[in-house]
Amino acid sequence: MASHRALALKYRPQVFGDLVGQEHVTAVLERAVESGRVAHAYLFTGARGVGKTTSARILAKALNCEQRKAKGADPCNRCTSCTEITSGVSLDVAEIDGASNRGIADVQALREKVRFSPTGGRYRIVIIDEVHQLSNDAFAALLKTLEEPPAHLVFIFATTDPQKLPDTIRSRTQRFDFARVPLRKVADRLLDIAKREKADPEGTRFTLSEGAALLIAQKSEGSMRDAVSALDQVVSAGEEKIDEELVRRVLGIADREAFFAIAGAITARDPKAALTALHAAFAKGIDASELASGLSEHIRHLLVLAVDPGADDLIPVSHEDLARLRTQNEGWSEQDLLRLLRLASEVATPMKESPQPLVHLEAAVLQMATLESGDTLATLLARLEALEQRLSSGAPAPAPAPAARPSGSGPATPSRPPARSTAPPATVRASSAPPRAAAFTAPPASPPASPSPIKAAASTSATIAVADEGGVAVAIASPATDALAVAVVTTDDEGTTRWLALIETVNEKKPLLGAFLHGSRFMGIQDECLVVAMDDLHRAVVDEKDNRAMIALEVPRLFGRPLGIRCVAPGDGPIRRRPTEEDVRPAIERAIQWFDGEVIEKPGRTSERSNNG
């Protein structure tokens, strides 16, 4: 009985046409051999098992083949030169391992050998595998030969890390980058090997299913050699029929049904079923990290099919599973599937650093199963267009809705004050952004008394607004002085009337801008500016250059003089009375406690300082 020969060696490509997935390389090499334009040095780069060394041997045989056709590039594989190169005993072809022959002495010995003419063929060929592992001294010794090589000498370098080669070496070679073999081509090659083995009288009789071939191809990650070696390992199990179940058992690949169950519960938005499926898969012996990576891959398949329903070549599953995937992603947009994929992928990092990785995966699965659909930009634009059409038809504009929280980000959590203090009665905004006025409603108190200045210390970016009878006293913290500067926003019925006229005029020219102004609240006039309370969305629209220009054009006509527009945070309406010192003192004390401030000037000292000055 003949000894077994590994499938990776038995079916190693012997001509350029046998190389799978490297047509961009073989086409150039074939034309170079046919035309005789052979370079003195080649550099083959790429991942492991994609055909770099195999291509170097085929090129060596083609250059020295005694019976190669004049208009062909493939070697005959029958002459003495071809058979010697195939068996590795040719005196004209030296194949060296760069990892074990990396010293300067090895390169010097090589230089002595290549000086002599070839014994049988036309060229003396040196193949150095993993050339990047040569030492710097060895590269320096090799450089002289590369600069002025003999006419009969051809170097072929193969490496997985071309960046480690000196520039002086790379610049003297013709570089060819070998790509990872596409998944479907790997599977087709495995199916072809199965047919050839079945037809070979001395071969192993087995039947390979399409799903099993795709699963092996996925495991190989684009390496043809790894795929054939994995097939050989599965064949060694001794079963005539090779299906997905056998491949998973022999190669230790998680069952795809587990991921169909988990992803099915997630897409059905059933957190209980998703958690049950997750624990069922874990109970079968699938590691938590494998569950996370497999779930990410499964959701990735759903996303690819959602983006391109015809991208079968990008998904390593059988046609039956493709149909199941297409059914599973129905009702899900690309954006939502992308959010699911992000959640499944990001959980891998905390799982590696945690003693309980399954807990992190459970949280991620539950978050994915409760993920709400998000609105796309196109949907929001469509809603704005509908609003614009409603305004154009004369229908009243709806009240501005509160800003929606992003879907899937969890329940909104209200801001909490420090543990040492209760929430202040005022709405105080602290931010690193430029100061903006926020509204504060003073509690009702005794009959009005004579007004007194309001001065207190607060955080640099704190903002407090206090209402009075004739307008709104707005205290804005100055970043430079940490003091509160008091100004008065005047409001009256005439100003409100003019503001409504402005909205009507703008609405006739640009209904969308008119809708946003209508959804804002006019506070009054301060420092030659119209003070308008609005949220961030309205402010972003009003702050646009064209919209500002349109408002600035209409304001002088309606208000009698040029006025700017100042957008502030939304708050309560003004109180039609002037607050007393007793009214605002509790709010100021709470603000000082909130921001760990201290009083730098007491009420009443302003007038004293002005009289003394």
> Could you tell me if residue 49 is left (phi over 0), alpha (psi between -120 and 50 degrees) or otherwise beta?
left
Q: Specify which of 72-86, 489-503, 566-580 reaches the highest per-range mean pLDDT.
A: 72-86
430-459 tens-digit pLDDT: 333 333 333 333 334 434 433 333 333 333
Residue with the two structure tokens 């060296």: 96
Q: Is the pLDDT of residue 572 over 60?
A: no
Confidence band (pLDDT; 50, 70, 90) for 173?
Answer: very high
Q: Which of 290-299, 405-414, 529-538 has the lowest mean pLDDT?
A: 405-414
Q: Considering the chain, what is the average pLDDT of its residues? A: 77
Q: Is the pLDDT of residue 609 over 90?
A: no
338-381 tens-digit pLDDT: 999 999 999 988 998 889 999 999 999 999 999 877 766 666 67
Question: Phi first, then psi: what are they for 533, rounded to 5°?
Answer: -90, 130
pLDDT attached to residue 330: 83
Residue 205 CB coordination number (10 Å): 11
Q: Is the pLDDT of residue 60 over 60?
A: yes
Residue with the two structure tokens 């100004």: 487
Side-chain-side CA neighbours of residue 352 (13 Å): 5
pLDDT attached to residue 516: 81
Long-range contacts of 95-102 (CB under 8 A, 24+ apart): 95/53, 95/57, 95/127, 95/129, 96/126, 96/127, 96/128, 96/129, 97/129, 97/130, 98/128, 98/129, 98/130, 98/131, 98/132, 98/133, 98/134, 98/159, 99/130, 99/133, 102/133, 102/134, 102/135, 102/138
Closest CA to 343 of 373, 363, 357: 363
Q: How close are the terminal C-alpha atoms of the chain, in Å? A: 116
pLDDT attached to residue 53: 93
Task: Return the amino acid letter for 446.
Answer: S
396-411 in b/e form (b: 16+ CB < 10 A) is ebeebeeeeeeebeee
pLDDT attached to residue 377: 62
Q: Is the pLDDT of residue 227 over 80?
A: yes
pLDDT attached to residue 577: 44
Q: Is the pLDDT of residue 574 over 50?
A: no
Q: How far is CA 461 from the centre of its chain?
A: 35
Q: Is the pLDDT of residue 88 over 50?
A: yes
> Pick the residue with more confidence: 608 or 294?
294
Q: Which of 325-334, 478-487, 526-535, 557-566 has the lowest mean pLDDT?
A: 478-487
Confidence band (pLDDT; 50, 70, 90) for 518?
Answer: confident
Q: Is the pLDDT of residue 135 over 80?
A: yes
> Pick the residue with more confidence: 405 or 587?
587
> Pick the residue with more confidence: 463 or 571?
571
SS3 label, residue 87: helix
236-250 tens-digit pLDDT: 988 889 998 899 889
Task: Return the amino acid letter for 4.
Answer: H
Q: How far is CA 508 from CA 501, 513, 552, in A?
A: 11, 10, 16
Q: Is the pLDDT of residue 296 over 80?
A: yes
pLDDT attached to residue 14: 92
Closest CA to 245 of 209, 280, 217, 271: 209
Confidence band (pLDDT; 50, 70, 90) for 295?
Answer: very high
**Distance of alpha carbon 463 from alpha carbon 437, whole angstroms:** 6
Task: Return the percentage of the chain with pLDDT > 90, whole number.
Answer: 29
The DSSP output letter for 212 is H
Strand ranges inside 549-612, DSSP E: 564-568
Average pLDDT over residues 146-162: 90
Task: Return the percentage of the chain with pLDDT > 70, whole number.
Answer: 77
Return all residues near 494 (Cβ < 8 A) that are at least 6 apart. Answer: none
Q: How far is CA 376 from the centre of its chain?
A: 18
Q: Is the pLDDT of residue 580 over 80?
A: no
Residue with the two structure tokens 């060895």: 138
Average pLDDT over residues 544-552: 84
Q: Is the pLDDT of residue 192 over 90?
A: yes
**Pair 90, 57: CB distance under 8 Å:** no
**Distance of alpha carbon 591 from alpha carbon 436, whole angstroms:** 16
The torsion angle over the Cα atoms of residues 40, 46, 49 and 53, rounded to 10 degrees, is: 10
> Pick the residue with more confidence: 460 or 316?
316
pLDDT attached to residue 443: 39
> Domains (ranges, CATH) in the chain?
7-178 (3.40.50.300), 183-251 (1.10.8.60), 256-369 (1.20.272.10)
Closest CA to 306 of 347, 267, 345: 267
* Angle (nearest 5°) at CA 275 between 271 and 277: 115
**Pair 590, 427: CB distance under 8 Å:** no
Q: How far is CA 150 from CA 32, 115, 197, in A?
A: 19, 7, 44
Helix (H) or strand (E) holding 611, with range, is helix 605-612
**Pair 318, 210: CB distance under 8 Å:** yes
Confidence band (pLDDT; 50, 70, 90) for 266?
Answer: very high
Helix (H) or strand (E) holding 522, with range, is strand 521-526
Strand 41-46 with 153-159, pairing: parallel
Q: Specify which of 391-400, 444-453, 522-531 reaches the highest per-range mean pLDDT.
A: 522-531
